[in-house]
Chains A and B, each alone.
Chain A
Amino acid sequence: KAGVTQTPRYLIKTRGQQVTLSCSPISGHRSVSWYQQTPGQGLQFLFEYFSETQRNKGNFPGRFSGRQFSNSRSEMNVSTLELGDSALYLCASSRQGGDTDTQYFGPGTRLTVL
């Protein structure tokens, strides 16, 4: 069974640009969550989608947005990039997104903002 895949794996952008990251969940999983990991702030929850609806959102500015498609694939977008957005972005999928589910994490997209 294929795991969670994320593309691209590495990305270099400059300040002010925007970026779109993609996540394909494990087949049959309908919940996709996104996390940002930085050395300073650690792992922080961005948002969670289920059946194309955002169900939960973390404390990030509106520059961070996401969406989920009917096939459960998800994208997140960051507009007007700042240096502080440099991070590893992880997506995770689970069957229903309930708190008894196990989340499976993808390999991450490492974003560098210059």
Chain B
Amino acid sequence: ELKVEQNPLFLSMQEGKNYTIYCNYSTTSDRLYWYRQDPGKSLESLFVLLSNGAVKQEGRLMASLDTKARLSTLHITAAVHDLSATYFCAVDAHFSGGSNYKLTFGKGTLLTVNP
């Protein structure tokens, strides 16, 4: 059974600081996704990482994937209050060509950015 572990689960940061959220998974896969969820809201897609070594950046967020280590990271640069949210990583258990969605999610990281 595929397991996805995120750490930390809770992260309190000061504005302007950098930090990294880690996502480890238990089986081979080269499909990893990052989502953001604001309180009481739905999930917003942030990044889709589709191959080993993939790196994607959007604003102050950068995600990377190391399939050999079964590890993805979400790096936050110079955090601002607007980044406060819960961040989820998810791994697709079916990774062969033509596979379909069957995402396994991590527990989520609740990020609070303090002024």
Contacts and interface: CB of A to CB of B under 8 A. Distances in A.
B42 A90 contact: yes
A7 to B, nearest CB: 14
Nearest to A56: B102
A25 interface: no
B104 A45 contact: yes
B42 A33 contact: no
Interface stretch (A12-20, A68-76, A78-86, A93-101): A93-101
Contacts of B100: 31, 48, 50, 55-56, 97-99
Contact of A98 (B45, B98, B103, B108): B98
Interface string B32-46: 010100000111110
Interface residues of A, number: 27
A99 B45 contact: no
B71 interface: no
A8 interface: no
Nearest to A97: B100
Given A102-B48, A105-B42, A48 B98 contact: no
B102 A106 contact: no
Given A48-B102, A99-B31, 10 more contacts: A31-B100, A43-B105, A43-B108, A45-B104, A56-B101, A94-B101, A99-B100, A99-B101, A101-B101, A105-B43
